[in-house]
Structure 1
Amino acid sequence: MSPAGTTGVTAYGLSDEARNLHWLLTDLVEEVPGVLSVAVVSSDGLLLLSSAAEYGEHRECPDHPAGHPAPHSGRSEEGPRGSTADLATIVAGLGSLTTGAAALMDGGTVKQTMVAMEGGGLFVMTISDGSLLGVRTAPDCDMSVVAYHMALFVGRAGHVLTPELRRELRQSVEAAG
């Protein structure tokens, strides 16, 4: 059985690489305390993969076992404010802003951005192909643990996120939406 088959993630009809990315994302949400939601966004700002906050510890997704947040289409039952689509938009915008700032300051490639807020945190890390990994956290998370696990995800996902896989992931998001 593939790793994706063991997590309860519904990724039927997807390639092994896409199912493995779903599994890696689910693992990030399940294993890292304080992670509320995650979005992978393409270099052009399109949502590729996400895990909705509403399917975390507090509420079960009807299609998934208890405690298994579902990689998700980005739609929130609770409305647009705070939805995964909002997270993807914020991640894309923050990535663009920091890339522009780095260019103005001759700073090279942006590797990670962190925003600490009273009500939580937002981490954005660049994936090797220019895509971005964005993670929204609870205010009491251990930032170093979150950053470490994000780096693990980027290291594992970066080499498989080919143009073909990005297209497949984007089509699956559109089909689910």
Structure 2
Amino acid sequence: MTGSNGTTARDVDWLVAGLAGDVPGVREVVLVSSDGLMLASARGPEAAGAAGDAEEQLGAIVSGLVALAEGTSRVLDMGAVRQEIVTMAEGYVVAMSISDGSCLGVHAGGSADLGVIAYQMTSFVRRAGHVLTPALRAQMHQDRGGGRVGS
């Protein structure tokens, strides 16, 4: 299935895998649809342990963070939410909403450069955000079939 500008699910998968593999400190990247369905995921070279349900859990976390931030913004009348960052003792979770309601999330280790991650996530959203049409998202979900990108 092809989105606008000839973009396919494989192109978006490639972008997700690139974000996971090319940005130092990134452990995992997820792309989740607005209804919480996993569209794509990839593990970075610094990912620890077996995958298990980690991708689904991270997808749910990212979806929840984005929803909470957007609800907070509405209540406080603060305008559009740009990014959510959770800082923990040993790492970060960074989430961004995409214009169609999808969410991009990154799990990174404590040594990761948040500026680089934020820049790369913003670049991803600019490149892929406008092509994530309902038809392309449906195809990505169907293609995923429980599999994993970049493994």
Same fold (TM over 0.5): yes
Higher relative contact order (CA 8 A, sep 6+): 2
TM-score, normalisation: structure 2: 0.86
Matches within 5 A, 1:65-76: none
Please report how far the alpha carbon of residue 167 of structure 1 lies from its aligned counterpart in structure 2 after TM superposition.
0.4
Runs (5+) with no aligned partner, structure 2:
none
Query: 2:112 & 2:22 partners in 1: Cα distance?
Result: 12
Map 1:65-144 to 2 at 5 A: 77=50, 79-80=52-53, 83-144=54-115
Counterpart amino acid of 1:167?
A
Equivalence for 1:49: 40
- Alignment pair present for 1:160 and 2:151: no
Cα deviation for residue 108 of structure 1 reads 2.1
- Return the alpha-carbon distance in structure 2 between the equivalents of residues 165 and 78 of structure 1: 26
SS where residue 152 of structure 1 aligns?
helix
Maintained 8 Å contact 2:25/2:46: no
Contact map agreement 2:17 2:43 (CA 8 A) in 1: no
Percent identity (aligned): 42
More helix per residue: 2
Aligned equivalent of 1:33, options 3, 24, 35: 24
The superposition leaves residues 63-116 of structure 1 with CA deviations (integer Å, 9 ceiling, x where unpaired) of xxxxxxxxxxxxx95543xx1111001011111111111111012221211111
Q: Which TM-score applies when normalising by structure 1?
A: 0.74
Which SS does the other structure have where 2:107 is aligned?
strand
Q: SS at the partner of 1:153?
A: helix
CA distance in 1, matches of 2:73, 2:46: 37
Count of equivalent residues: 144
